[in-house]
Amino acid sequence: DDGSNGSFSPDETKKLHSSLAREKLAAAAAKKEKAMRVKADSIEDEAWELLRESIVYYCGHPVGTIAANDPSSTSILNYDQVFIRDFVPSGIAFLLKGEYDIVRNFILHTLQLQVKAGRRPWIAIVQVRG
């Protein structure tokens, strides 16, 4: 017999409570982090869904995204069209996702429209590979 009666000393009790409190805090933090990841994933998924819904197709190929989509607005003010300045953030997102076709098509069609309008293209492309 070691002389203990099955109870903890005050120091041991304090250490045990401290350890349990740390474990509870760590578990709560992990749970909160997981919930935030799920929320972030769902927000990112929703953003990609909305971005994909905004894609404009020409001759069956994606060529850009509409400038804005407000279903509650009665006046669209040409925001149902593709604008260079408004496609830039979308184009960067597509490039980061590895979706190069829409960006390539956007640049090619933009250049073609400038040439047809008699304007000098703002960018020179030496060779385009598909």
pLDDT tens profile 105-121 = 999 988 888 777 777 66
- Do residues 18 and 33 share a domain? yes
pLDDT at 14: 78
pTM recorded for the entire structure: 0.56
Burial label, 35 (beta-carbon count in 10 A; 0-12, 13-18, 19+): exposed
Q: Is the predicted pLDDT of residue 128 greater than 70, yes or no?
A: no
Quick check: is 93 in a domain?
A: yes
Q: pLDDT category, 29, cuts 50, 70, 90? A: confident
Q: Are residues 65 and 128 in the same domain?
A: yes
Q: Are residues 68 and 117 in the same domain?
A: yes
pLDDT value for 127:
47
Average pLDDT over residues 10-17: 76
| Same-domain pairing of 24 and 65 | no
On the 0-12 / 13-18 / 19+ scale of CB atoms within 10 A, 87 is: buried
Within this chain, do residues 46 and 63 fall inside the same structural domain, yes or no? no
Query: What domain range is 34 assigned to?
Result: 9-53
Domain boundary (53, 71, 87) is at: 53
- Asked if the structure places residue 4 within a domain, the reply is no
